[in-house]
Amino acid sequence: MSKETFQVGCKINLCLKIVGRRKDGYHIIETVFYPLKKPYDTLVITQKPLTDDVTEGITVECNSKEVDLKDNTLTKAYNIFKEITGFAPPLHIELTKNIPIGSGLGGASADAACLIKYLYAKKNKLPYGAITPKDRIRLQKLAVLVGADVPFFIVDTLSYAEGVGEMLHPFELDDHKGNYVLLICPPIHISTAWAFKKLSEKISMILGVNENELENSKKIEKIASFSLTNGTELCINLLNAEKHKNSSFQKELESLYARQDDLYQRAAKDPTRSSSWQNDLERPVFDEYPILKEYKEKLLSFSPDMALMSGSGSSLFALFNDKAKAERAEKYFLEQKDMKVYLSAF
């Protein structure tokens, strides 16, 4: 039997903007993914010997009772890889979950990407992680069938992402030495599907339209994406402009899109010093869990360059250019009950 051990890190979203929704229910986003080495999950993958009775299949054991051992991202990744490539060696995986579930850090997606890269390596008799650029694109297309965040973990480098998160544009920061990221993980589990549903409900309420209208109009959905950050009155005017085809408001709408997109593109080049970052899911999540808003305000009290909720929460992070400030914030949050805290160089 062949046994290998992998430590699988997580991600934070340096921003998250919702710009639409597909017919299959997935939201269209713009985000910047940043990989973190901790917290990490541990996967021990054992390739079982082939016998007359065992020729393929996967079994999973896990230290967390929250993971369904028969139906999870690992079993899904295995079955999709088998369906597309025909390669399906018999495997047993021991999964140790350290990345908090329901934290917005993409732990389950990272686990799935690890397995996809493992299967690719075994199929092609290559070292783990040795992926040709052409095959990397193929694996990303396969990975998105498992989940929206999984393609990022195939690349696993700082990336601007579009679509449902699968259209990745890796980039490098010119100068970010001496910066630190403080990640805090409260003992709160938030479902990603729940967070997006709450966002849709919030937008529907603010703009006075029902969810069917949001689903049936890309323009209305895009207008709605500004409602949480650009003022309700302006967005209602833009919505009415779209409904009634008012030309003056149409021009204002186009101008607003251009300004926002330009700001976002410029901000993507320098996330450590941008004041424009936002997470559209913060408002609905904070409404339901006000303690998370309090934690963010406390993070901001230590004067970081920025502080934000990651993904759909519940984790939050702050970027610091002063290590002493970061360590003071770390000390405070380590004293909070059941809080998991991680400080890393950025």
pLDDT in tens, 24-48: 767 788 888 999 999 999 999 999 8
Lowest mean pLDDT among 81-85, 169-173, 224-228, 305-309: 224-228
Q: Residue 286's pLDDT band (boundaries 50, 70, 90)?
A: very high
Percent of the chain, pLDDT > 70?
A: 74
Query: Two tokens at 308?
Result: 């934000």
Residue closest to 138 by CA, chosen among 157, 166, 162, 163: 166
From residue 56, how far is each of 59, 78, 79, 92 by CA, in Å? 10, 10, 10, 11
> Which pLDDT band holds residue 231 (cuts at 50, 70, 90)?
very low
pLDDT of residue 77: 97
The pLDDT of 265-288, averaged and rounded, is 68
CA–CA dist 73, 68 (Å, integer): 10
Distance CA 177, CA 196 (A): 35
When pLDDT is cut at 50, 70 and 90, the band that residue 74 belongs to is: very high
Residues classed as catalytic: 11, 149
Q: At what angle do helices 232-244 and 192-207 cross, to 10 degrees?
A: 80
Residue 344 vs residue 267, higher pLDDT: 344
Tokens of 246: 């008012």
Where b means 16+ CB within 10 Å and e means fewer, 185-200 reads: bbebebebeebbebbb
Q: Determine the pLDDT at residue 299.
A: 97
Tell me the average pLDDT across 201-208.
63
In whole angstroms, what is the distance from residue 274 CA to residue 263 CA?
10
Say yes or no to pLDDT of 332 above 80: yes
Q: Omega of the bond prior to 314 within 30 degrees of 0, cis?
A: yes
Whole-number Å distance between alpha carbons of 256 and 258: 5
pLDDT of residue 251: 56
Domains present along the chain, CATH in parentheses = 2-170 (3.30.230.10), 180-190+289-345 (3.30.70.330), 192-268 (no CATH)
Q: Over 90: is that where the pLDDT of 264 sits?
A: no
